[in-house]
């Protein structure tokens, strides 16, 4: 009961990553920008927490957000309580952009999944990806609860 085969998991994830990139390109959206939009559609947040959640450095957040702000998809708002904090929030345009991105991704990944022979396989592939989503959520939760200043660097 312990013969789990991880042999191609990295390769497959890396290939899927490239397809995500390809699917978003026509929208002039990068994977990093897409991840930021998804994170923000769940509600406004501050830069430092976004860095944690997205597993990137603080300067990366600044850079990615800057592009989205220039594009009118995200707005910055200084906190009145602690003026060091800057809340980031999606604009309506940002929501529209995200919706387009989701559609593009579903089209692309859907057409890939559609290559599978039977619909049961397709459903299985989709379900499993949902399992990965669940696992990612838990791994993230553990990362943050473990210690605000993780075991190594940004904790990734």
Partner DNA sequence: TATTGTTATACTCTATAACTATA
Partner DNA sequence: TATAGTTATAGAGTATAACAATA
Binding site for its own copies (CB under 8 A): 1-2, 4-20, 22-23, 25, 31, 34-35, 38, 54-56, 101-102, 105-106, 109-116, 119, 121-136, 138-139, 142, 156
Closest by CA position to 47, among listed 29, 35, 59: 59
Q: Which is nearer to its own copies, 12 or 96 (CB)?
A: 12
3-class SS string, 49-110: HHHHHHCCCHHHHHHHHHHHHHCCCEEEEECCCCCCCEEEEECHHHHHHHHHHHHHHHHHHH
Of its own copies, DNA, none, which one does residue 99 interact with (CB within 5 to 8 Å by kind)?
none
- The minimum distance between CB 127 and DNA, in angstroms, equals 27
Question: Which residues, 87 to 146, sit near DNA by CB under 7 A?
Answer: none
């Amino acid at each position: 009961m312990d013969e789990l085969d991880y042999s191609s998991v990295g390769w497959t994830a890396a290939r899927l990553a490239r397809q995500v990139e390809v699917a978003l390109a026509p929208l002039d959206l990068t994977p990093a920008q897409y991840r930021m939009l998804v994170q923000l559609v769940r509600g406004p947040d501050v830069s430092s927490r976004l860095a944690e959640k997205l597993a990137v450095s603080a300067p990366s957040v600044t850079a990615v957000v800057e592009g989205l702000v220039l594009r009118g998809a995200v707005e910055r708002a200084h906190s009145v309580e602690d003026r060091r904090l800057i809340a980031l929030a999606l604009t309506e345009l940002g929501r529209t952009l995200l919706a387009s991105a989701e559609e593009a991704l579903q089209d692309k990944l859907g057409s890939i999944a559609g290559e599978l022979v039977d619909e049961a396989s397709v459903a299985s592939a989709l379900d499993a990806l949902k399992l990965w989503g669940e696992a990612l959520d838990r791994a993230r939760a553990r990362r943050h609860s473990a210690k605000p200043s993780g075991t190594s660097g940004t904790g990734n």
